[in-house]
Amino acid sequence: MCPIQDEDAQNDARLQDREIHNLGRVLRGQYARSASSGLLSARAPAARLLLDGRSLQLVDAFGGVVVRAVLDQHVAVRGNSVSVLEPESATVWQTLYDLLGRGNLPAGCSWGLTRSPARRGDCVLVPATPLASDQDVRSLIDLALPGAAAGLGHGGRPARLAQESAALFTHNARTHGSGSPVPPLLCASFDEQSKDLQVVVFDRGAALAGGNGAALREAIARSRASGGGLASLAAYRRRGCDFSVRLAGGAGRARYDSRNRKWKFSDVADLVPGFMAALEIHR
């Protein structure tokens, strides 16, 4: 992420004495996964961090967990603070505001207040939320997720598939995501662009952070051999639900498509500093 070059911005008093990270134009899907590499770099930024979201044009559940992870990571250091400049686009502002829990940013974080709080939209089912305890997990997955899904017209089998994937991804994140500086995150949202229902879990554990496509292939093979959750999600087709499972860890990427019932594995340049598992239910 590059410092702001705009002269007006540099003169803005709010931006003084802060390290500035530009969220870019797109924090959606693969672009969000790629951006996580720079936004969550190991290098410790200044105590006061500014995330500039003014140019943001597209954001989804993937972007939600990435931005929330930046907030959580930064304020995990005592005395640090983060300010987030709101997107100039009204619709993107509404979505980002909902994805980050509206006024419920973590302690030490604040909105830049360049805009009034957006009215609640109808895309976000569960804002990017840390999963610190069993109670958090149960209240989100048993109650919040299906209730919100039904309210947005995604009840029945899609809601249950979303719940199952959220539970499995969360269990894996809490089990295998050890060494993470912050709790794993869950976010569920309806993506306006693709019309997909997205469930994303992101953990900063080390297990697959340095991995590649081959490591993900091995992880799937182990899951299949032990009857694990990832393999079981992909094992059979849910009547009426076309879906994809996306995994990203380090340089590795994997995608399962229920329409052709195949996994595809690849390697990319941008490293995800942790492990991201997602379900996308296609409409």
Binding site residues, other proteins, CB under 8 A: 138, 141-143, 146, 157, 159-161, 163-164, 166-168, 171, 227-229, 232, 235-236, 238-239
The whole-angstrom separation of Cα 252 and Cα 213 is 4
Q: Report in angstroms how near the CB of residue 231 gets to other proteins at its nearest.
A: 9
Cα-trace Rg, the chain: 18
Q: Report in angstroms how near the CB of residue 205 gets to other proteins at its nearest.
A: 17
Residue 255 contacts residue 263 (beta carbons within 8 Å): yes
DSSP class per residue in 197-243: EEEEEEE--STTTT--HHHHHHHHHHHHHHT-HHHHHHHSPPTT-EE
Q: Report in angstroms how near the CB of residue 226 gets to other proteins at its nearest.
A: 8
Angle at 41 between CA 38 and CA 42, to 5 degrees: 170
Q: Report in angstroms how near the CB of residue 253 gets to other proteins at its nearest.
A: 24
Nearer CB in complex with other proteins: 20/125? 125
The whole-angstrom separation of Cα 118 and Cα 257 is 35
Q: Report in angstroms how near the CB of residue 135 gets to other proteins at its nearest.
A: 11
Q: Report in angstroms how near the CB of residue 159 gets to other proteins at its nearest.
A: 8
3-state secondary structure of 26: strand
Nearer CB in complex with other proteins: 14/138? 138
Helix 61-75 to helix 29-39 angle (10° resolution) is 10
Nearer CB in complex with other proteins: 65/168? 168
Nearer CB in complex with other proteins: 138/195? 138
Q: Where are the beta strands (DSSP E) in the chain?
A: 19-22, 26-27, 48-52, 58-59, 81-85, 109-111, 124-130, 185-190, 197-203, 242-257, 262-282
Query: How many residues belong to the chain?
Result: 283
Nearer CB in complex with other proteins: 52/280? 280
Nearer CB in complex with other proteins: 232/266? 232
